[in-house]
Amino acid sequence: MELTVDELASRAGVSVRTVRYYAGRGLLPPPRLRGRTGLYGPEHLARLELVRELQSLGLTLAAIERHLQRIPLDASPEDLALQRALLSPWAPGRPEEMDRHELDRRVGRHLSDETVKRLAALGVVEELSGDRIRVINPGLLRVGVELAELPLPMETLLNSHEAVERHITALAEELHRNFQETVVRPYRERGRRPQEREVLLAVAARLKPVMIQSLVTSFQQAVDRILRKTVPDEGNA
């Protein structure tokens, strides 16, 4: 595949100006020249797609540059595809901005001002100027509304939310560190063999749903064990 800068930009869904800007910042390897025409290949397209994936994670251009500096300019499209697979967002949705009418439509009923304030306190939405609302995580909107409308003190909801955030973050960091040290690093140290790359791509595609279901089931089992401990033993009743 040989693409002109216009064709590359079209395939990547960016402007020609963006391609040239990234190239000037060293995010793309130089094109192959045919006379005065620069030609780009699959590795350039894969690297642009990786940049867009990193941007979707909310990383700044400076952070993206630091990340790409660790990836050789001659990295194959397959290696770059693996990078994308390992970094693909796990969140069920990206932030969306809307008005209150659209928010009501999304959840299927009118939300009171108090419910919206409770949603904001729980980190589900952010109140903007006027009647504008930013939904931080659209995938959690409905369950967030159900939680906010429970007849529980706000203190109870906030304490529960903070506990979940604290422990989930620690768990995510530990699992990520374990995967990097026991799977990704050995793959790199063994020379990024193609057969191993294919296995890693397959694992990355299957890991997300399996891990999420495992966490949900494990949490349910843990709550069940805690509840059983609170029930008095008949012999001690």
pLDDT at 202: 86
Report pTM.
0.69
Reply yes or no on whether the pLDDT at 97 is more than 60: yes
- How far CA 26 is from CA of 21, 48, 69, 80, 186, in Å, comes to 9, 12, 9, 16, 28
| Angle at which helices 113-121 and 154-179 cross, to 10° | 40
Segment 8-23, tens digit of pLDDT: 999 998 999 999 998 8
pLDDT at 149: 93
pLDDT at 234: 56
pLDDT at 78: 84
Domain boundaries, the chain: 5-87, 96-151, 160-236
Contact 85, 205 (CB under 8 A): yes
Q: Which CATH number is associated with domain 5-87?
A: 1.10.1660.10
Hey, how many other C-beta atoms are within 10 angstroms of the C-beta on 24?
A: 9
Segment 120-155, tens digit of pLDDT: 999 899 999 888 999 988 888 999 999 999 999 999
Hey, how many other C-beta atoms are within 10 angstroms of the C-beta on 69?
A: 11
Confidence of residue 92 (pLDDT cuts 50, 70, 90): low
Distance CA 148, CA 115 (A): 6
